[in-house]
Amino acid sequence: MTDYYAVLEVSRDADSKTIKASYRRLAMSYHPDRNPGDKAVEEKFKAINEAYAVLSDETRRSRYDRFGTVDDNAVFGSDIFDIFASVFGTNVANMSGGRGRAGGQPGEDLEAQLRITLEEAREGATVEVEVERLRACHHCHGERAEPGSAGKSTCPRCGGAGQVRVQAQSIFGAVITARTCPDCHGDGHVIPTPCKVCNGRGRERGTDTVGVTLPKGIDGGYRLRVPREGNVGVDGGQSGDLYVYIEMRQHPFLERAGDDLHYTLEVGMAQAALGATFDVPTLEGRERLTVPAGTQPGSAFRLRGNGMPRLRQTGNGDQVVEVKVVVPTKLTAEAREHLAAYAGAVDETVEEQETVADKVRDFFAGKGKGKRRGRGQARADDQAGGAVDAPGGGGAQGGREEGQATKPDGRGSQASA
């Protein structure tokens, strides 16, 4: 087993700054471009980058500390030069420019937007995203030369060197400098008969579906890097990366706040006062929640562990259930009577109620229009036509009650799915 701490020449309790500084120092001196052709140096450089990829990432480092291993192919599958470039910046990564020549022209990075659901984020699903990108030309398979033609030949201008020497004037006098060959653009080759489909570019535009595996607990605003899913490279150059920007879809009944999920539970006045047990819908099904007697509006209860997984950590957040006490806006005669009796019992002064005699008088005063009015409307409303339609508000009320009833049902169908 490789001792990553030894490779980076740091102690086991080194902080991230120390690790990065040590990495910079070692990576610069072991960079293959500084030691061309030296296999041992190349191996050492690889080891340094592997070690840094693990120790610079908190999750990987703690896994490595605990288990002595990192089961993460992504580290070792990704190009070690990417790690180098991420620390030093891309310009330094291609230190002599030699890498670009030897490996062809790398493909460009691409960006994509991905909208995901809470459920997908919770389980760490693999979600497909459509990407319009440059891929290898179907006709020449990225070879750039027309199939059946002579293919590539050595560039006559630079003789295959990819560079030409030019004389320039400087304050020190005439100096000879090397420039990239304008004919072959540093490739060292030219293609006398370019592919007719891609005009010798080797690539064509197309739309592909890329599977993106989400880390558990990912939230909107995060950017995921999917290695090698950007534009394809030219002449064997590596494909670019795909950067996926995550956006969360609105959930029908849960609101996300970091690792916690918020749910509003509508509780009746009597239920809040006397206590009641509810079936609260969660992301994974339902949880029983007992609201104790004397619960106040705005009180919150926590369903521990029913929130989102903590990104790159262990455990889950909670589901926070916020109590909304619903005051009835429409009462049956019986309910009104009981409520008035309750008010009397606790000595609460309430408005005088309409009697049956009042209603009969209202009926005749409004010439029958008033009969559709809800009970308890102020008499002044009588004359206004708009006010007569106000029981439409009562209809909305009914809708709210309905909404309350369908919520657990909706959850039930989800749980069974």
The amino acid sitting at 271 is: Q
* 254 touches Zn ion (CB under 5 A): no
- In the complex, least distance from residue 49 CB atom to Zn ion, rounded to whole angstroms: 32
By beta-carbon proximity to Zn ion, the closer residue of 158 and 283 is 158
Compute the distance between CA of residue 235 and CA of residue 240 in angstroms, rounded to an integer. 14
By beta-carbon proximity to Zn ion, the closer residue of 156 and 211 is 156
Q: What is the contact mask toward Zn ion in residues 27 to 66, using x (rule: CB under 5 A)?
A: ----------------------------------------
By beta-carbon proximity to Zn ion, the closer residue of 137 and 283 is 137
- In the complex, least distance from residue 104 CB atom to Zn ion, rounded to whole angstroms: 15
- In the complex, least distance from residue 106 CB atom to Zn ion, rounded to whole angstroms: 18
- What is the SS3 assignment for 71-116? CCHHHHHCCHHHHHHHHHCHHHHCCCCHHHHHCCECCCCEEEEEEE
Which listed range, 13-21, 69-77, 109-117, 130-138, lies at the site for Zn ion (CB under 5 A)? 130-138
By beta-carbon proximity to Zn ion, the closer residue of 201 and 361 is 201
E strand map for 48-124: 110-116
DSSP 8-state secondary structure symbol assigned to residue 234: B
* 140 touches Zn ion (CB under 5 A): yes
By beta-carbon proximity to Zn ion, the closer residue of 108 and 259 is 108
366, 391, 267, 369: which is closest to 323 by C-alpha?
267
Which listed range, 21-29, 135-143, 232-240, 347-355, lies at the site for Zn ion (CB under 5 A)? 135-143
Compute the distance between CA of residue 61 and CA of residue 68 in angstroms, rounded to an integer. 9
By beta-carbon proximity to Zn ion, the closer residue of 19 and 158 is 158
- In the complex, least distance from residue 150 CB atom to Zn ion, rounded to whole angstroms: 15
Q: Which DSSP string do the residues of 393-412 spell out, in sequence order?
A: HHHHHHHHHHHHHHHHHHHH
Cβ neighbours of 77 (radius 10 Å): 9
Question: What six digits make up the tokens of 381?
Answer: 């409303």
By beta-carbon proximity to Zn ion, the closer residue of 184 and 212 is 184
Which listed range, 36-44, 140-148, 339-347, 390-398, lies at the site for Zn ion (CB under 5 A)? 140-148
By beta-carbon proximity to Zn ion, the closer residue of 53 and 155 is 155
* 136 touches Zn ion (CB under 5 A): no
- In the complex, least distance from residue 110 CB atom to Zn ion, rounded to whole angstroms: 20
- In the complex, least distance from residue 169 CB atom to Zn ion, rounded to whole angstroms: 24
CA atoms within 13 A on the CB side of 252: 13
Compute the distance between CA of residue 26 and CA of residue 199 in angstroms, rounded to an integer. 44
Query: Binder to Zn ion among 135, 139, 228, 361 (CB under 5 A)?
Result: 139
By beta-carbon proximity to Zn ion, the closer residue of 32 and 200 is 200
Compute the distance between CA of residue 329 and CA of residue 402 in angstroms, rounded to an integer. 14
- In the complex, least distance from residue 232 CB atom to Zn ion, rounded to whole angstroms: 12
The region, left, alpha or beta by phi > 0 then psi within -120 to 50, assigned to residue 367 is left
For Zn ion (CB under 5 A), the number of binding residues is 12
Counting Cβ atoms within 10 Å, is residue 118 exposed (0-12), middle (13-18) or buried (19+)?
Answer: buried
Contact 140, 197 (CB under 8 A): yes
Q: Which DSSP string do the residues of 164-219 spell out, in sequence order?
A: EEEEEEETTEEEEEEEE-TTTTTSSEE-SSB-TTTTTS-EEEEEEEEEEEPPTT--
Greatest extent of the chain over all pairs of C-alpha atoms, in Å: 114
- In the complex, least distance from residue 245 CB atom to Zn ion, rounded to whole angstroms: 32
- In the complex, least distance from residue 183 CB atom to Zn ion, rounded to whole angstroms: 5
- In the complex, least distance from residue 41 CB atom to Zn ion, rounded to whole angstroms: 29
Sign of CA dihedral 193, 196, 199, 201: negative
Binding residues for Zn ion restricted to 145-204, rule: CB under 5 A:
155, 157-158, 181, 183-184, 195, 197-198
By beta-carbon proximity to Zn ion, the closer residue of 183 and 401 is 183
Interacting residues with Zn ion (CB under 5 A): 137, 139-140, 155, 157-158, 181, 183-184, 195, 197-198
